[in-house]
Structure 1
Amino acid sequence: MKVQLNPALVSPLIVYLSSDDAKELTGKTFYVGGGRIAEMRMVTFTGVTKTDQGGLWTPKEIREAMKPGAILMPE
């Protein structure tokens, strides 16, 4: 396992990302380890926005909105 976490496996990606060849790659997060390189992405749903009370939610309001199609992604 420790072999897969060797910093030497990460440094080539750092060199590439620091080069002019990667100047268009901004705002991305990568997973590197064990010979694998992959772009990581966070998936978010539309969600619900509260505009009154300065956007401050109550736990009760959150409980009521915590369902698929509101805060949670549709199943």
Structure 2
Amino acid sequence: MKSKQFILAVGFAFLSATSLMSCDSKKENKAEEVQDQKEDVIEAQNEGDTAKVMEEQSELDSARKDYREAVRDSVKSANN
């Protein structure tokens, strides 16, 4: 009986750790996306293309929103 409990405990610990890591990974991916979009905005500004700057800024705003939602979700998951 003790070995069964030990195996279950190790399995639960493994699943908990991997789920926490996947949340962080999602957050990190969104952060990288924001950085990429920010670089695109700067590049468009350097080119002087106003329409492209506005388009890239819109994409950056969307990426920032997605990042904030991912952070909020990871905080909720950690608190539950």
- TM-score, normalization: structure 2? 0.23
- TM-score, normalization: structure 1? 0.24
Larger strand fraction of residues: 1
Structure number with higher relative contact order (C-alpha < 8 Å, ≥ 6 residues apart): 2
Larger helix fraction of residues: 2
